[in-house]
Chains A and B, each alone.
Chain A
């Protein structure tokens, strides 16, 4: 399988690096301070390929904390809010679009 770092990085707008937390799979976002947050609002925003590549590289390097890091598109609201850039990322951020059969 091709490493995410070997894949061609194409950025068409503001983007973040996201992954899943290793021990429980929870969705996380790479922050500007070299850590991870479960809040998209805390994510480091990149707009060009080189910074995106650098952010992805440091994210992938944290192999213990995170799994499957990749670059995901976001949109920026007028109030500065960070909004997922597509439905897949929206669902990752806010959860399934259906009522769960049960909630333990």
Chain B
């Protein structure tokens, strides 16, 4: 965990007082909605179909047990007893009253949580690999750099009124769990041939109406220069990004229209003006941030404890262990993913009771730490392997041990038309039906890794473009219909999916997905060939034929 200091606490508390005053003035009529809207958006407050929605930042997806308990408290006291974890590692509350928001923010501030930069045309919450600091395959903990970026961009006056929102994501591993190629700036922490730590910098990725995979703008930027370099990118974007057309305002459009070479040349010029200036990070500054990340005092434990061997006789435990437990950099420990995708449940939702219970389990088994992943699941990052059987039993009892992580029912879905004022079609009921269709664990395992992503509109909060199977809800003649894409992926080989054909009605979506999966099982060369690889090998045609032959 990162330990906030007095400056952080003062900033957060002052922000609560400021927003309390703004809400009071809005409710009294002193501020019009037009005046207030920009202020509420700077505090993560949207207006959705039925109520205000409150988005709370979880920087780089790291939570303490005390913070998770406080989120449970907000869900229980001010909302309807649950929260929704998002694809940007945040949490949203769907039913909160405007008049209660200052109190909710004040309660969250007690544990250092806020809602700054979760909305608006600013640099948003910096996301990172949810396994940061514990993954065996990482160069170093990416959250140190995410925190440096967070501190630099927090309330940065030059970047608080950008042409459009701006999102960073960081990974430090070869396998990208942070979807950096679909972010405005993606940073991949690497070491060069001299052993120096730095970043491959990617720019111009994003989904939405005009999806683009990010392009590498500079293959290596030394760590000490990363702030000045991203500042140069933001300056070029701030200067040239379009403000006349919201649909063309993201940096991805600027990069696309200028071309990466010309854009890179502009950035180089801007960088020359500020490189080696005050934004250069010296070792002392980096170490100061690094030192405020407190790591657990791991014990020397057996990599194959007796408790684990004994529990292996239970097929339910083994199914879960094989699916949801990942290697840890520390021998004897494991990373445990908690599925928030129960059969028939809304993806990414957790009740206040579940949050409290997970916080208790984090204290007992994971040094009080919880992670949020962009796939809308949680993780306990420091679990002793000997504790896995006991932890599994506890997780199973609260409904977060469904062994479906990375399988077909581990669906990413936006709130869709059930909640969202931008949506054209529902997402959650589609996801729920699919989890029922693929509830059989043996079948799901047979299918293997398969990411289904669902968005209820073209804004793509459900990342449908990069789902192995992507489902996009649109409205046609007052009816919900769904476009299906296949072959997308969000990892280091990120790719946009390809449309298989005409949109299908709401009632047929689950049948179509079943058809696609059955086609895959018949077409794959061997069980190890993943769905997305079969699509890459054969293209969309065989799937298209299967789906539309009888429709």
What is the interface of chain A, defined by CB distance below 8 A to chain B? 1, 20, 22-27, 63-64, 67-68, 86-88, 91-92, 95-98, 100-104
B434 to chain A minimum Cβ distance, whole angstroms, is: 14
- In the complex, the answer to whether B429 meets A97 with C-beta atoms within 8 Å is yes
Q: Which B34-72 residues have a C-beta within 8 angstroms of A?
A: 34, 47-52
Q: Is B345 touching A24 in the complex (CB atoms < 8 A)?
A: no
- Asked whether B350 is an interface residue with its Cβ less than 8 Å from the other chain, the reply is yes
5 closest A-B pairs by CB = A102-B81, A104-B81, A24-B97, A25-B51, A96-B418
Q: Which residue of B lies closest to A23 (CB)?
A: B99
Q: Is the CB of B33 within 8 A of A104?
A: no
Please tell me if the beta carbons of A25 and B48 are within 8 angstroms of each other in the complex.
yes
Partner of A24, one of B48, B51, B429: B51
8 A-B pairs within 8 Å (CB atoms) are namely A24-B99, A27-B49, A67-B33, A88-B417, A91-B417, A97-B429, A102-B82, A103-B81
In the complex, what distance in Å separates the CA atom of A65 from the CA atom of B32? 11
Known: A20-B47, A27-B49, A102-B75. 4 other contacts (CB 8 A): A22-B98, A96-B428, A98-B346, A102-B351
A98 touches B432 (CB 8 A): yes
Distance to closest chain B CB from A21 (angstroms): 9
- How many angstroms from the CA of A63 to the CA of B82 in the assembled complex? 31
Contact status of A91 and B80, CB under 8 A, knowing A67-B33, A96-B419: no
Nearest CB in chain A to that of B344: its residue: A99
The complex places the Cα of A68 from the Cα of B26 at a distance, in Å, of: 14
Closest chain-A Cβ to B505's Cβ sits at a distance in Å of: 13
B27 touches A22 (CB 8 A): yes
B480–A91 CB distance below 8 A? no
- Known contacts: A67-B33, A101-B351. The answer to whether A23 contacts B98 by CB under 8 A is yes
User: In this assembly, does B143 line the interface, its C-beta being within 8 Å of a C-beta of chain A?
Assistant: no
**B419-A68 in contact (CB<8A):** no
Grouping DSSP codes into helix (H, G, I), strand (E, B) and loop, the A interface class, with mixed when no group exceeds half, is loop
B79 at the interface (CB under 8 A from A): yes
A-B contact count (CB 8 A): 85
Q: Are A98 and B428 in contact (CB under 8 A)?
A: yes
> A23 contacts which chain B residues (CB < 8 A)?
27, 97-99
B426 within 8 A of A: yes
Contact digits for B327-359, partner A, Cβ 8 Å, 1 yes 0 no: 000000000000000000110011111000000
Cα distance A54–B99 when bound, in Å? 30
Let me know if B29 is at the binding interface, CB within 8 A. yes
Is B478 among interface residues, defined by CB-CB distance under 8 A? yes
B97 touches A97 (CB 8 A): no
In the assembled complex, the CB of A83 is this many whole angstroms from the nearest CB of chain B, namely 13
B290 interfacial by beta-carbon distance below 8 Å: no
Q: How far is the CA of A97 from the CA of B182 in the complex (A)?
A: 31
Known contacts A23-B97, A25-B48, A97-B429: A104-B79 contact under CB 8 Å: yes
Contact A91 B49 (CB under 8 A): yes
Does chain A have a CB within 8 A of B76? yes
Q: Which residues of A contact B480 (CB under 8 A)?
A: 87
Contacts of B51 in A (CB 8 A): 20, 24-26
Q: Which of A22, A25, A63, A103 has the most CB atoms of chain B within a 10 A radius of its CB?
A: A25
- A22 interface neighbour in B26, B418, B428, Cβ under 8 Å: B26
Within 8 A of A (CB), among B469-483: 478, 480
A68→B47 contact, CB < 8 A: yes
CB distance from B483 to the nearest CB of A (A): 18
Contact across chains for A98 and B97 when beta carbons are under 8 A apart: no
Residues on B with C-beta less than 8 A from A64 are 27-29
Contact of B418 among A24, A25, A27, A98 (CB under 8 A): A98
Set of chain A residues within 8 Å of B52, measured between Cβ atoms: 24-25
Contact A25 B33, beta carbon cutoff 8 Å: no
Contacts of B351 in A (CB 8 A): 101-102
Complex CA gap A92/B417 in Å reads 9
Cα A86 to Cα B480 in complex, Å, equals 11
- Nearest neighbor of B342 in chain A, beta-carbon distance: A101
The A-contacting residues of B in range 401-421, CB under 8 angstroms, are 417-419
Complex interface: chain A residues within 8 A of B478 (CB): 86-87
Indicate if the CB atoms of B417 and A101 lie closer than 8 Å.
no
In the complex, which residue of chain B has the Cβ closest to the Cβ of A96? Answer: B418
